Amino acid sequence: MSRHKLVEAAPIGKPSKQLRILRVGWHDTAALFPEFRQPLIIFLLAVFVGGYIYMTLNNDFSDNGPLKLVDMPYIMLALMVLEASIELPDEPYLIVFWCIQPLLAVYIVGRGAADFLRLFINREERRSAWEAAVASTFKRHIIVVGIGHTGLRIARELTQMGFEVVAVDSGAAGSS
């Protein structure tokens, strides 16, 4: 004869609504990163690697005076928005940076905006990532399957008792 142990469910301490919103936002941002990976990598390469290359070329082959590595990200960003904080160099290989950085900025902003609009317009593409982000914030929750009249009342009662409740309903999958 087997013995069964009765485990009594007790409400757990609910995380604050603000904490849950922060966790969902963090998980959703992490899910969004792959969508904007290419423009972000190009931006970081242009600012940091481009800045290092510009500084090295300037310091080794130019008479404009030495540049500091710590100043280069700012200088590269300034070149991107056509607000250079240094004087136009005489060397053609440094002038290339003055021409390339604004073009990279246009590409990065354009690609990011196009990706954002694609995700904004096609919400179905983002729905699964958003659902995964929300689901990742639940721990030790009760799942109610079927949100008809009875399931809805059960979910409300459990919520009022302090339990975290997740509802699953096959009829809700196709609705917006």
121 and 63, same structural domain? yes
Query: What is the pLDDT at residue 8?
Result: 47
Taking only the tens place, the pLDDT of each residue in 28-42 is 777 777 777 888 888
Query: What is the pLDDT at residue 53?
Result: 92
Query: What is the pLDDT at residue 14?
Result: 55
54 falls within a domain:
yes
Angle among Cα 27, 30, 31 to the nearest 5 degrees reads 90
Lowest mean pLDDT among 57-61, 115-119, 126-130, 155-159: 126-130
155 and 106, same structural domain? no
153 and 133, same structural domain? no
The total number of structural domains that make up the chain: 2
* Whether pLDDT at 55 is above 70: yes
Give the whole-angstrom CA distance, residue 10 versus residue 31.
33
CA neighbor of 107 nearest in space, from 43, 36, 44: 43
162 and 145, same structural domain? yes
> Which residues constitute the domain of residue 176?
138-176
99 and 40, same structural domain? yes
Contact indicator for 66, 59 with CB cutoff of 8 Å: yes
173 and 144, same structural domain? yes
99 and 66, same structural domain? yes
Q: What is the 3-state secondary structure (H, E, C) of 29-76?
A: HHHHHHHHHHHHHHHHHHHHHHHHHHHHHHHHHCCCCCCCHHHHHHHH
* Whether pLDDT at 11 is above 70: no
Query: What is the pLDDT at residue 70?
Result: 92
* Whether pLDDT at 170 is above 60: yes
